[in-house]
């Protein structure tokens, strides 16, 4: 169990008791906040990303996710959700929106984001590239806007690396959607394995460029970073 306190913020392993607060943070600080939703037709409401909620329980059960909470108010202010991927035991959770065309049609906006994530995973192919069978794969990194730019995101990623060391996991992977998280991974010594400009990205299912109309913000490029321990 990871547990550490710094500057009034506690960093610890996410457990089942944190499920509701983490789900709310994901909706408020990740899905409804991401500028990637604008060209898709507007913010992603919780009902549009509801396939994530059952997956969240699975992600938490891997016990390699870390959250940050305010020591005074106990409010969760940031989270890095990760899964443990193990090629030997074929344990690599896949998204239901990739497995079911019916679900993908029911949740078209979310499906675009999941397709993008799959594109990044395939292009980077980190486990093969580093010739390892196990890795800690970061799925979401989010910090509440009220607590942004205070080093919490950086500390969450750094804590993940330290947890991986303790658990003898040889590779930590992170997907990054904006320049601030790019800075975090670079400053911690991660290698950038693959990157694509959102405007250039093509969805292989229909050949569309779903983010071609994305406005200029800190979200211009998606990248996959990896740290070999
Ligand atoms: C990306 C995110 C997790 C960063 O978390 P954070 O706690 O603000 O990050 P940090 O405070 O550790 O800052 C990381 C770097 O970004 C910079 N930064 C962060 N927010 C900034 C802001 N609003 N303005 C300017 N710089 C900013 C920091 O100065 C720091 O740069 P440095 O290393 O050169 O000093 C957070 O902004 C977020 O949750 N965004 C929405 C969700 C998202 O896009 N997640 C990433 C996709 S996976």
The domains of the chain, with CATH numbers, are 3-228 (3.40.630.30)
Give the Å distance between the CA of 15 and the centre of ligand 1: 25
Nearest CA among 196, 194, 192 for reference residue 183? 192
Residue 88: its pLDDT value, please? Answer: 56
Please state, as a whole number, how many other Cβ atoms lie within 10 Å of the Cβ of residue 176: 25
Do you know the residue count of the chain?
229
CB distance 167 to ligand 1 below 6 Å: no
The H-or-E segment that residue 120 falls in is helix 108-124
pLDDT at 10 over 70: yes
pLDDT at 8 over 80: yes
Contacts of 64 (CB under 8 A, 6+ apart): 13, 82, 83, 84, 136, 160, 163, 164, 167, 169
Residue whose CA is at the smallest distance from ligand 1 atom 25: 149
pLDDT tens by residue, 123-176: 999 999 999 999 999 999 999 999 999 999 999 999 999 999 999 999 999 999
Residue whose CA is at the smallest distance from ligand 1 atom 43: 142
Which atom of ligand 1 has the smallest separation from the CA of 180? Answer: 16
CB distance 198 to ligand 1 below 6 Å: no
Q: What share of the chain is helix, strand, coil (3-state, %, to 5)?
A: 40, 25, 35
Spatial strand order of the sheet with 76-86 comes to: 3-6, 9-13, 66-70, 76-86, 134-143, 171-176, 221-228, 191-197
CB distance 148 to ligand 1 below 6 Å: yes
Structure tokens at 45: 């409401």
Give the β-pairing of 76-86 and 134-143: antiparallel
90-94, 192-196, 200-204: which has the minimum mean pLDDT? 90-94
Give the Å distance between the CA of 220 and the centre of ligand 1: 14
pTM, to two decimals: 0.95
Task: Determine the average pLDDT of the residues in 186-201.
Answer: 98
pLDDT at 187 over 50: yes
Residue 86: its pLDDT value, please? Answer: 82
How many helices (H) and strands (E) would you count in the chain?
8, 8
CB distance 52 to ligand 1 below 6 Å: no
Task: Determine the average pLDDT of the residues in 183-192.
Answer: 98
Mean pLDDT of the chain: 94
CB distance 29 to ligand 1 below 6 Å: yes
Task: Determine the average pLDDT of the residues in 34-46.
Answer: 91
Burial class (CB in 10 A: 0-12, 13-18, 19+), 162: middle
Residue 91: its pLDDT value, please? Answer: 45
Q: Ligand 1, residues 33, 81, 148: which to mutate, most atoms within 8 A of Cβ?
A: 148
Instruction: For the chain, give the percent of residues with pLDDT over 90.
Output: 87
Per-residue confidence band for 103, with pLDDT thresholds at 50, 70 and 90: very high
CB distance 153 to ligand 1 below 6 Å: yes
pLDDT at 110 over 60: yes
CB distance 152 to ligand 1 below 6 Å: yes
pLDDT at 224 over 60: yes
């Amino acid at each position: 169990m990871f547990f550490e306190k710094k500057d009034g913020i506690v960093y610890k392993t996410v457990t089942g008791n944190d499920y509701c607060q983490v789900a709310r943070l994901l909706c408020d600080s990740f899905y409804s906040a991401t500028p990637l939703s604008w060209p898709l037709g507007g913010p992603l409401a919780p009902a549009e990303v509801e396939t994530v909620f059952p997956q969240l329980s699975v992600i938490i059960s891997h016990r390699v996710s870390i959250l940050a909470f305010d020591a005074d108010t106990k409010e969760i202010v940031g989270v890095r959700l990760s899964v443990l991927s193990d090629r030997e035991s074929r344990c690599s959770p896949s998204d239901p929106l990739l497995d079911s065309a019916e679900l993908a049609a029911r949740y078209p906006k979310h499906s675009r984001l999941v397709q993008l994530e799959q594109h990044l995973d395939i292009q980077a192919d980190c486990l093969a590239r580093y010739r390892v069978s196990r890795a800690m794969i970061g799925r979401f990194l989010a910090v509440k806007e009220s607590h942004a730019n205070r080093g919490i995101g950086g500390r969450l990623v750094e804590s993940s690396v330290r947890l991986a060391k303790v658990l003898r996991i040889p590779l930590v992977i992170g997907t990054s959607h904006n320049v601030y998280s790019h800075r975090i991974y670079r400053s911690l010594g991660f290698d950038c394995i693959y990157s694509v400009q959102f405007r250039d990205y093509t969805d292989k299912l229909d050949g569309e460029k779903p983010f071609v109309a994305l406005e200029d913000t800190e979200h211009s490029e998606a990248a996959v970073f990896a740290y070999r321990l």
